[in-house]
Amino acid sequence: MADRPALRRLTPNVQIAEHDFLTGCLTATMRTNLFELQFGVRRRPDELRGYDDSCIVGWTIADSGNNLVEAHYLEDIKGLDGSTYRPLCSRIDVVSAQGGEMSVRLSYNSDEFVSTYTLRDDLPAVQIDYLIYGTYRVFNVVDIGTPGGVVEKFSGATRVLGQESWTRPIVYHERPYWNVHVDERADFLVPDAADAGSLNYRGYMIMAAGKEGSGWGLGRAIQIYRQGEAGGIRCVKLLWDTGFETFPCYDVDQERRPFRSFLFAYSGGFDEAMRLGCTLVDRFGDRS
């Protein structure tokens, strides 16, 4: 087995290994006062080999030691901010690092896909700006973790802000929870509201997954697509209390404007998760 490569330190809080010692792909460690992220390769089962992707494969909270992604090489498909349709990460650069905030630019396949991660010392969250997301027909964003210690499907709970007034109860993948894509509307016979109705908080959808009683877990706030105005998602599928799958586009000719999202960790139950999601949108949400 090849030796693990030395980390290249870009700032006090960002270190990058030029190549993962098993896959030959980029990995990185990103730290704040509150957490440490491990960015690497999500290995798929043998039958899905060729669909490996770069994503967050570890997210450890400093004060508790809780890990939102208990992922291990050659074991399963856990990882956050992954995508079946995005190539492996080919370049990582620090854009800025000052005043308790740093931004890291992630390039996939020579800028075919480009995102930035922004981390702040005072918040247990990662702001993700999806700047370019390819020309493939479909692009999805997949979060599968171990929120609240959940390791088995359906052994936790999922909360979506505004679900009490939504048109259906919580339903899980493969069925969409909210969707405006024509091919999947047949699930519910009538199209969902394009603006997501009661699930829309200032142009974002806010979701959380975890285990009842544990108090901690994973959340995502993500921008909702508005035709001619803002990029964002057009479909959400809830992944069995382990995370979320969202779809910014389904067709080659669909508009692909940049959009913003937040992954966040919470430690005070689902009510705190909803409040934290709202705070992130209020403070840093894209208003374009």
CA 264 to chain centre: 9
User: For the residues of 52-79, what is the DSSP string, one character each?
Assistant: -EEEEEEEEETTT--BS----TTT---E
Pair 165, 198: CB distance under 8 Å = yes
Question: Domain segments of the chain: what residues?
Answer: 7-284
Closest CA to 157 of 213, 101, 237, 80: 213
- In tens, the pLDDT along 10-62 reads 455 777 765 555 555 788 899 998 999 999 888 765 555 556 889 999 999 99
Which residues pair with residue 37 across a beta bridge?
30, 59
Q: Which residue has the higher pLDDT, 247 or 10?
A: 247
Residues forming a β-bridge with 130: 115, 259
Integer Cα distance of 106 and 130 in angstroms = 10
In tens, the pLDDT along 203-236 reads 999 999 999 889 999 999 999 999 889 999 999 9
Nearest to 207 by CA among 276, 145, 257, 151: 276
The domain 7-284 having CATH identifier 2.70.98: the answer here is: yes
pTM over 0.85: yes
Mean pLDDT of 243-249: 94
- Are the CB atoms for 13 and 97 separated by under 8 Å? yes
